[in-house]
Amino acid sequence: MLKKSVVITYNDYALSAVIAEQLKEKLIRAEFAVHHHFVGDEALIFTIGGDGSFIKTIHDFNFPSIPIVGINTGHLGFFQEILPEQLDLFIENYQKQNYTLQEILPLQATVYIADKRFIIKSLNEIVLRSYLGKTVHLNLSINGNFIQCFGGDGLIISSSAGSTAYNYSAGGSIVDPSINTLQITPLAPLNTNAYRSFTSSIISSSTSDIIVSPEEQYRNYISIIVDGVQKHYNDFKEIVVTTHTDPIRVIRMDNYEFWNKVTNKFL
């Protein structure tokens, strides 16, 4: 038995507000209860906008376990599944349960700042780079094994779902999201007689611990960028990144094909 309560979120594009209103009317006609905030019994979240809106909604709802579906009014819309002109078709398919749920594992990291620590979650990636435009030197270990002291602009640690975002722009590999990986992609690695830094991505299993700690003199100069949102901390000692155990669930229509989306969207 389907629960008929949904929540609609949308970004600040004029078109998104228009689509949100149309969607609301259609859903009410189909006897759904529509909310704009979490009430508690929702069966589905709509996010209207582009990938940025999708990511923001996931963060705003703290990586929810209930299904989410994206309506693309944005530029690329890689996470987004339906177009504004497909609202009726979507509602019909949803009611008939003609869809699949794509489970996506986010990243989870423990950040050590001075004598405190806290947990962050990320859908696409966590980037460590200098916030003053300087070179950074970052000690990288995987599962306690020291890999190298990396020198360069910084490191991207990407989930499989994030592999097509910043990771790809930086020369990283596109990963089929049905394979859970952690991908570490260097940003402008230094390679000289003075410094040796890896130049291509390292892909490790989703259960690995990726441990990055700045060399001591850089502890006040590193930014942590989580899904495009930049934070700066003093006395940043270490970050341990791994995969979160609880997936988010994205509604995909029955014709969804990851590789088809890749070729349509950017190859």
What residues are designated binding site? Answer: 51-52, 56, 124-125, 134, 153, 161, 164-169, 188
How many residues touch ligand NAP under the rule CB under 6 A: the total is 19
Nearest position to ligand NAP, beta carbon: 52
Q: Which residues, including other chains, have CB under 8 Å from residue 254's CB and lie 6 or more apart?
A: 93, 98, 99, 100
Record the tokens describing residue 68, joined without a space. Answer: 């989410």
What letter does residue 178 receive in the DSSP assignment? T
Stretch that binds ligand NAP, among 33-41, 73-81, 147-155, 209-217 (CB under 6 A): 73-81
Sole binder of ligand NAP in the list 67, 74, 106, 189 (CB under 6 A): 74
Sole binder of Mn ion in the list 6, 8, 48, 50 (CB under 5 A): 50
Q: Which residues, including other chains, have CB under 8 Å from residue 241's CB and lie 6 or more apart?
A: 107, 108, 109, 126, 157, 182, 209, 210, 211, 212
Helix (H) / strand (E) element for 95: namely helix 87-95
Paired strand residues for 129: 154, 223
Q: What is the footprint of ligand NAP within residues 221-240 (CB under 6 A)?
A: 227-228
Contact call for residues 111 and 239 (beta carbons, < 8 A): yes
Residue 54 or 150 with smaller CB distance to Mn ion: 54
The answer to whether residue 262 forms part of the interface with ligand NAP (CB under 6 A) is no
For the chain, what's the residue count? 267
What is the maximum span of the chain, computed from C-alpha positions, in angstroms?
Answer: 69
**Residue 107 partner contact from Mn ion, ligand NAP, none using kind-dependent CB cut-offs of 5 to 8 Å:** none
Sole binder of ligand NAP in the list 23, 44, 51, 82 (CB under 6 A): 51
Contact call for residues 76 and 52 (beta carbons, < 8 A): no
51 tagged catalytic = yes
Active-site residues, by number, are 51
Binding site for Mn ion (CB under 5 A): 50, 52
Binding site for ligand NAP (CB under 6 A): 50-52, 55, 74-78, 124-125, 161-162, 164-166, 169, 227-228
